């Protein structure tokens, strides 16, 4: 058991600590990992801060992981202010600052890759001196695309490291903590449903803000009557204009507010609709002008941003289609109280810390992959939980806007619904197979794969079914089916062996190179590098082909004018043929890993790498600026991986370096 330290809690935290925080401190003192599940805004971060102070007092180190680069950047700045810049480092894949610091902030993907012992260094050296790993927003395990990263991080993290897993409210925290104990080490569960700032739920009918539920939280099924006309409402009336609600929020002093709208276009239109309102005082207007002027010196592209006039009215938009530098400005002004209403997509709910007095939900449904659907209980909780600033607000307000298609009772049920349970998104990939077999035998890899949260849940439910049927064993036992994850692992292994990346269940020289890559399809990227397809391209066309390997399909209404010609076009066609061959081999081994080459945006990458300025580049496409930046940053990330990959020909490494240097300029270059 770790030695008890004399940390002065009154000095570290000059405010009254809650019981669940003190409980978590005691578990950390006892050498246990902790899973903390509590509502958004309840003070989970205090537990992470305690772990940091405890580690520093012991002469040990802390890794602080977050789901998003932007959140890592914010946490890096915040910790640097409180601990001193010399104590804090940052790793986000393409940014490395003070990586040997006492506290290193990183994305969870970077931590997972570190555990594999990739180009970031061997596990033993990378984690030297680390006592705690903080897994912020661990409920991201439910994310369909990225959730596996959190499971892998917990499974592969050395047992000597204490995990501090911080989660929003979930329905099955006991299952999660039991799995963490089984797969990592002794993990204490700390749960609270207490919100220091309670929430009040309202609805807006186009004229006034009124309670969503009757006092006591009971549902109100009575039909509403319009007092002016005397008629009953049929469902909810057509959705009111956003400016009516913004004005009502301002009049009732319910700002600053985050107004969630489930489309980028909807966010922009809502801001335009409210643009005639003035929410700032003269003093605040001057403060915005000073902040924007200073920020534009370092970020000149924002000086002529079309949204700039709305900042001077206290309004802003925040979504993935905006320039990252613009979003950072909006975040800073909102945190300073100079943006009173920000219209945002739901991604803001799970990302940057932008506390508000009120959150608004423009709808309780959104469009998904299979059409329109209601929000899940956890999505509703995540967004509504942004309301109420601890130490600033007595209550937080949540306003649901009426809709012509959604009965009031559905909104009431969502407001009272419990959180969704955490599930498993664990899935083997080519990179996982190569990395595990680089460090483990096939039998050891099988053991690690079997420790996924999904298999834990299935084993538990299988045991519960047997317990409910005592003495009723089947007459003839049948063999247990091979779990899906292990079948997929073996199929991926066989495919890698066919292409020469594995031999006798160990990575070959090319397999070691491929193991260092992190992409949607590591095998395709490795084959593109080893087959000579890209060898003779100039750097700007090499960069364009990198985009083809990482880009996603553009939405149907999107267009990009520039197209690739000559040797670059030929290289793309060779990549397409290579992908077709990989798909054929995958089918032989019963592997279904999506694999397509998207070249629509490659022309933009080539022109940017050749030196075209940003405004001219954006004139050649109707993609949002944020989308183009994201495409270029993903291309840059792959080029950085290639430049650091072991065993590659020096010509390819030089091409990757030149191509990366050509791309990495404002506004693509990441701000810290």
DSSP 8-state symbol, 376: P
Same domain, 404 and 504: no
Which whole number is the average pLDDT over 407-427? Answer: 89
473 found inside a domain: no
Comparing 229 with 15, the larger pLDDT belongs to 15
Q: Per the domain annotation, does 672 fall within a domain?
A: no
For residue 176, how far is the Cα from the chain centroid?
Answer: 20
Same domain (yes/no): 186, 321: no
Distance CA 618, CA 628 (A): 8
Query: Quick check: 215 and 414 in contact, CB under 8 A?
Result: no
Rank 124-128, 206-210, 394-398 by mean pLDDT and report only the highest.
394-398
Give dist(CA 115, CA 121) in Å, integer. Answer: 9
Instruction: With CA atoms as reference, report the closest residue to 13 among 24, 4, 3.
Output: 24
Q: Are residues 98 and 142 in the same domain?
A: yes
Residues 148 and 184 grouped into a single domain: yes
Whether residue 171 sits in one domain with residue 59: yes
Better-scored residue on pLDDT, 364 or 28? 28
Give the whole-angstrom CA distance, residue 452 versus residue 445. Answer: 12
Mean per-residue pLDDT for 262-279?
94
Same domain, 436 and 575: yes
Q: Residue 399 contacts by C-beta under 8 Å, 6 or more apart in sequence?
A: 202, 203, 204, 209, 245, 249, 254, 358, 359, 360, 361
For residue 481, what pLDDT is reported?
79
Nearest C-alpha neighbor of 183 from the set 203, 198, 163, 199: 163
Q: Taking the model in full, what pTM does it have?
A: 0.89
Report the alpha-carbon distance of residue 585 to residue 377 in Å, rounded: 42
pLDDT digits (tens, 9 = 90+) for 152-176: 999 999 999 999 999 988 999 999 9
Q: Looking at the structure, tell me whether residues 347 and 404 fall in a common domain.
A: yes
Cβ-based neighbours of 216, under 8 Å, separated by 6 or more: none
Give the pLDDT score at 385.
87
Are 405 and 235 in contact by the 8 Å Cβ rule? The answer is yes
- The pLDDT value given to residue 199: 92
- pLDDT category of residue 490 using cuts at 50, 70 and 90: very high
What CATH number corresponds to the domain at position 558?
Answer: 1.10.3380.30
435 and 525 together in one domain: yes
Which percentage of the chain shows pLDDT scores above 70?
91
**In a domain? residue 329:** yes
In a domain, 477, yes or no: no
Q: What angle do CA 497, 499, 500 make, to 5 degrees?
A: 60
Are both 368 and 445 inside the same structural domain? Answer: no
Spatial distance between the Cα atoms of 561 and 621, rounded to a whole number of angstroms = 6
The answer to whether residue 21 is domain-embedded is yes
pLDDT of residue 344: 94
- Domain count of the fold of the chain: 3
Judged by average pLDDT, the poorest of 8-22, 126-140, 448-462, 537-551 is 8-22
For residue 183, tell me if it sits in a domain: yes
Residue 535 sits in which domain range?
430-466+482-663
* pLDDT at residue 245 greater than cutoff 90: yes
Alpha-carbon span 517 to 93, nearest angstrom? 12
Q: HSE (CB half, 13 Å, CA atoms) of 544?
A: 28
Question: Quick one: pLDDT band at residue 68, thresholds 50, 70, 90?
Answer: confident
Q: Which residues fall within 8 angstroms of residue 326, CB to CB, at 6 or more apart? A: 302, 305, 307
Q: Which of the four pLDDT bands, split at 50, 70 and 90, describes residue 221? A: very low
R_g over Cα of the chain: 26
> φ and ψ at 156, to 5 degrees?
-90, -10
List pLDDT tens digits, range 4-61. 566 788 888 888 888 999 999 999 999 999 999 998 878 899 999 999 999 999 999 9
Q: What pLDDT was estimated at residue 473? A: 57
Determine the pLDDT at residue 127.
Answer: 87
Q: Is residue 668 assigned to a domain? A: no
Strand pairing category for 130-135 and 103-107: unpaired
Cis bond before residue 287 (omega within 30° of 0): no
Q: How many helices (H) and strands (E) does the chain have?
A: 27, 19
Percent of the chain with pLDDT over 90: 67
93: left (phi over 0), alpha (psi -120 to 50) or beta: left
What's residue 236's pLDDT? 44
Assign 63 to helix, strand or coil. Answer: strand
Q: Is the pLDDT of residue 507 over 50?
A: yes
Let me know: does 147 contact 77? Beta carbons within 8 Å: no
The predicted structure's pLDDT at residue 159: 92
Pick the more confident residue, 482 or 201: 201
- Type and span of the H or E element at 246: helix 242-251
Per-residue DSSP letter, 86: G
Query: Could you read off the pLDDT of 425-476 as tens digits, one per residue?
Result: 999 999 999 999 998 999 999 999 999 999 999 998 888 877 766 665 555 6
Together in a domain, 391 and 528:
no
CA distance 174 to 188: 10
Residues in the chain: 672
Contact 641, 669 (CB under 8 A): no
Task: Please report, to the nearest 10 degrees, the dihedral formed by the alpha carbons of residues 121, 127, 133, 139 taken in order.
Answer: 30
pLDDT tens per residue, range 622-663:
999 999 999 999 999 999 999 999 999 999 999 999 999 999
CATH number of the structural domain spanning residue 403: 3.40.50.300
**Residue where a domain terminates, one of 191, 214, 246:** 191
Summarize the confidence of residues 71-86 as an average pLDDT: 91
Which pLDDT value is given to residue 351? 61
Q: How far is residue 567's CA from residue 452's CA, in Å, rounded to a whole number?
A: 45
Cβ-in-10-Å burial (0-12, 13-18, 19+) of 472 comes to: exposed
Q: Are residues 353 and 260 in the same domain?
A: yes
Whether residue 409 sits in one domain with residue 455? no
What is d(CA 350, CA 260) in angstroms, rounded to the nearest whole number? 12
Is residue 472 a part of any domain in this protein? no
Looking at residue 304, the DSSP 8-state letter turns out to be G
Residue 527 confidence (pLDDT): 97
Under 8 Å between Cβ of 598 and 520: no
């Amino acid at each position: 058991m770790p030695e008890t330290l004399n940390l002065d809690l009154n000095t570290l935290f000059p405010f009254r600590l809650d019981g669940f925080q003190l409980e978590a401190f005691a578990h950390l003192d006892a050498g246990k990992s902790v899973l903390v599940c509590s509502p958004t805004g309840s003070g989970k971060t205090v537990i992470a801060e305690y772990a940091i102070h405890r580690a520093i007092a012991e002469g040990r180190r802390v890794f602080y992981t977050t789901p998003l680069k932007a959140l890592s950047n914010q946490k890096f700045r915040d910790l640097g202010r409180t601990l001193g810049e010399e104590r804090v480092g940052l790793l986000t894949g393409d940014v490395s600052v003070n990586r040997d610091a006492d506290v290193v902030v990183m994305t969870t993907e970077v931590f997972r890759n570190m555990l594999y012992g990739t180009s970031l260094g061997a596990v033993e050296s990378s984690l030297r001196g680390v006592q705690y790993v903080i897994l912020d927003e661990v409920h991201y395990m439910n994310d369909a695309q990225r959730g596996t990263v959190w499971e892998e991080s917990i499974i592969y993290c050395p047992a000597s490291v204490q995990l501090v897993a911080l989660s929003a409210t979930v329905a099955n925290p006991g299952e999660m903590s039991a799995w963490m104990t089984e797969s990592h080490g002794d993990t204490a569960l700390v749960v609270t449903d207490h919100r220091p700032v309670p929430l009040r739920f309202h609805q807006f009918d186009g004229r006034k803000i009124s309670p969503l539920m009757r006092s006591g939280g009971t549902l109100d099924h009575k039909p509403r009557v319009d007092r002016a006309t005397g008629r009953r409402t049929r469902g909810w009336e057509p959705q009111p204009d956003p400016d009516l609600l913004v004005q009502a929020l301002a009049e009732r002093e319910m700002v600053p507010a985050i107004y969630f709208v489930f489309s980028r276009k909807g966010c922009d239109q809502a801001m335009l609709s409210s643009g005639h309102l003035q929410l700032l005082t003269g003093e605040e207007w001057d403060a915005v002008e000073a902040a924007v002027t200073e920020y534009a010196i370092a970020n000149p592209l924002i000086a002529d941003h079309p949204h700039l006039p709305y900042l001077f009215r206290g309004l802003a938009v925040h979504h993935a289609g905006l320039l990252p530098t613009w979003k950072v400005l909006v975040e800073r002004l909102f945190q300073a109280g100079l943006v009173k209403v920000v219209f945002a997509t739901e991604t803001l709910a799970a990302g940057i810390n932008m506390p508000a007095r009120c959150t608004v939900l423009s709808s309780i449904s959104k469009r998904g992959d299979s059409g329109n659907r209601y929000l899940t209980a956890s999505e509703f909780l995540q967004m509504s939980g942004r309301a109420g600033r601890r130490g600033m607000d007595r209550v937080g307000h949540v306003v649901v806007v009426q809709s012509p298609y959604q009965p009031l009772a559905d909104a009431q049920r969502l407001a009272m619904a419990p959180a969704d349970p955490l599930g498993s998104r664990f899935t083997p990939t080519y990179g996982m197979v190569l990395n595990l077999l680089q460090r483990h035998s096939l039998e050891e890899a099988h053991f690690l794969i079997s420790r996924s949260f999904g298999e834990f849940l299935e084993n538990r439910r299988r045991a519960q079914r047997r317990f409910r049927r005592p003495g009723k064993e089947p007459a003839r036992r049948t063999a247990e089916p091979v779990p899906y994850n292990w079948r997929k692992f073996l199929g991926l292994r066989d495919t890698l062996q066919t292409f020469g990346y594995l031999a006798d269940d160990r990575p070959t020289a090319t397999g070691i190179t491929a193991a260092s890559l992190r992409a949607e399809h590591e095998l395709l990227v490795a084959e593109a590098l080893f087959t000579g397809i890209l060898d003779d391209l100039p750097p700007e066309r090499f960069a364009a082909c990198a985009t083809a390997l990482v880009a996603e399909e553009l939405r149907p209404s999107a267009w990009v004018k520039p197209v690739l010609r000559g040797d670059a076009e030929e290289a793309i066609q060779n990549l397409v043929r290579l992908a077709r061959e990989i798909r054929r081999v995958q089918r032989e081994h019963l592997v279904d890993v999506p694999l397509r080459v998207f070249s629509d945006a490659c022309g933009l990458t080539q022109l940017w790498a050749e030196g075209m300025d940003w405004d001219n580049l954006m004139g050649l496409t109707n993609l949002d600026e944020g989308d183009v930046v994201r495409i270029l940053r993903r291309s840059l990330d792959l080029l950085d991986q290639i430049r650091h990959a072991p065993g590659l020909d020096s010509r390819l490494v030089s091409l990757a370096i030149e191509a990366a240097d050509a791309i990495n300029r404002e506004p693509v270059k990441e701000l810290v």
